[in-house]
Structure 1
Amino acid sequence: MTSTDVHSEDDTHDTRSTGPRTHRLRTAFVAFVAVLALLFLGTRIHLLPGLGGLFGEESHDRTGPTLLQSIQDLHRYEAAEGNFQVVVDFQKDAKYLPDAIRGTRTLYVGAGTVGSYVDFSGIGKDDVTTDADRTSATIRLPHARLGKPALDPDRSYTVDKQRGLLDRLGDLFSDNPDSEQAVTRLAARHIADAAKDSELTRRAETNTTAMLEGLLHSLGFTSVHVTYA
């Protein structure tokens, strides 16, 4: 075997060992770039939301039993309830990066209710007075209060969500529930503020007065006077 033959065999061996490896690396790199392109353009051209159906995805509810943690007696009269809806436009940006790289913007429709009630737990003997004939009664109650907003999941939904490239890559490894909680908390806060500016507590006091007047009239009282302080 000549030196030329040995050199030729070495060259052939190197070509066979490095050629396929280089091809695989090149293919993997092209695939990675394609995935990044889809992630970057998915929000704009709305391709990604429809890709899940190609793989025959199914949903399964494996939630365990619901546990009752406590029971509380309510000494209050739920007198009124308001229905509210708000469109939340929530944007979170990075300080030194453009929105296309890092940042989120979410449009979320939040719908829910706020109840208004009158608390009877603090009423004492001095707050209810009657005349000797028990035909006239005066009742002093605290002003109506507002309950906490309760978002309705059937009527609340995300309209649009735009995310930067880094945020979309992060979502591949995490559901990022903090972003969803941020918009729901913001929706609840706006609904609570709207309830404060509404006439919900006034309506609750009007309904409470009507309820007590009807109750005491059925017991024989001809005059019922309800005040709030």
Structure 2
Amino acid sequence: MARDGETPQSEFPGYPTADTLRTRSADPADPDTPPADPPRSGGGPARGLLWVLGAAALVVVVLLGTQVTGIFPDFRNPFAKEQTDRSQPPLLKSIQDLSRYVAAEGNFQVVVDLQNDRNNVPEFLLNQRTLFVGAGSVEAYVDFGKISEGAVVPSADGKSVEVKLPAPQFGQTNLDLDKSYVFAEERGLFNRIGELVKGDPNRQQQVYRMAEERITAAARDSGLAQRAEENTRKMLEGLLRSLGYEKVTITYTAP
């Protein structure tokens, strides 16, 4: 207990107040001063994690945009693909009157293995080899417009007729680009650099031309012309017999 005239003292040590702690923190020499909290950075790993999560969410939106539009038609994907067609309208160059009877058509496939290189130069430096599978068709036709006067000779009794026709011809080879493709391609270092610098949009034209030439040659040796002759003969025989002719003779002149 405190005596009269003396200042009362607590029997237990007093707890530091806020003012006391503030005074101690200002005095670095005070051994009882608690260590100050380390300064906080502006986000650190937490902010980097937020950026990663945001980028991942953006990728998910882009990838699923088309699927979301299928479920929700009113939703518009802000990253959807757009295609702009700036092509000019077709220009009519000419019109030709045709009198061809297409009697047969052959479908062909050819493999073109074309290599362009230089002598005494390593292939890994300068070389271009293309393995191309080409698919195309060729028509065989008889041009009725070239039938001359006197080509149709009926008999006196009207029971037989003789017809002379020009020999079948081959149409232009049509290369089907939907069924043709480059199977493999090898290019040297200089070839790759040259394409990066100036490019070559007509690089495949030589391969296409070779494929067409080989298909045309194959059509001439395939018996396609004989098939066209036979089909034309059958067609005319049926037509002329329906007109009352009992005997029909079809001959072909040399081309």
Whichever structure has more helix as a proportion of its residues is 1
Match of 2:236 among 202, 212, 219: 212
Match of 1:87 in 2: 111
Q: CA deviation at 1:167?
A: 0.8
- Map of 1:63-78 to 2, 5 A cutoff? 63-78=87-102
Q: CA deviation at 1:61?
A: 4.3
Match of 1:31 in 2: none
Distance 1:63 1:96, change over 3 A: farther
In structure 1, runs of 5+ residues without a counterpart are: 1-55
* Rounded Cα–Cα distance in structure 2 between residues aligned with 1:134 and 1:196: 38
Letter in 2 for 1:165: L
Q: Which aligned runs of 4 or more in structure 1 are off by greater than 4 angstroms?
A: 56-61
Match of 1:103 among 127, 131, 134: 127
Q: CA deviation at 1:91?
A: 0.3
Is 2:148 the partner of 1:145?
A: no
Match of 1:186 in 2: 210
Distance 1:88 1:77, change over 3 A: same
- Map of 1:40-51 to 2, 5 A cutoff? none
**Percent identical across equivalent pairs?**
49
Match of 1:41 in 2: none
* Rounded Cα–Cα distance in structure 1 between residues aligned with 2:112 and 2:224: 22
Q: Residues 40-86 of structure 1, C-alpha deviation per residue, up to 9 Å, x if partnerless? A: xxxxxxxxxxxxxxxx9986543221212111011221110000000
Distance 1:183 1:117, change over 3 A: same
Letter in 2 for 1:65: P
> SS of the counterpart of 1:194?
helix
- Map of 1:146-185 to 2, 5 A cutoff? 146-185=170-209
Letter in 1 for 2:129: R
* Rounded Cα–Cα distance in structure 2 between residues aligned with 1:73 and 1:124: 18
CA RMSD between the two structures: 1.8
Q: CA deviation at 1:95?
A: 2.4
Match of 1:201 in 2: 225
* Rounded Cα–Cα distance in structure 2 between residues aligned with 1:225 and 1:72: 31
Q: Residues 157-204 of structure 1, C-alpha deviation per residue, up to 9 Å, x if partnerless? A: 111111111111111134413320000001001101111110100000
Q: Residues 97-156 of structure 1, C-alpha deviation per residue, up to 9 Å, x if partnerless? A: 211111100010100000101122221222110012322110011211111211001101
- Map of 1:8-47 to 2, 5 A cutoff? none
Distance 1:174 1:215, change over 3 A: farther
Aligned pair count reads: 174
Q: What is the TM-score with the length of structure 2 in the denominator?
A: 0.64
Match of 1:117 in 2: 141
| Higher gyration radius (CA) | 2
Higher relative contact order (CA 8 A, sep 6+): 1
In structure 2, runs of 5+ residues without a counterpart are: 1-79
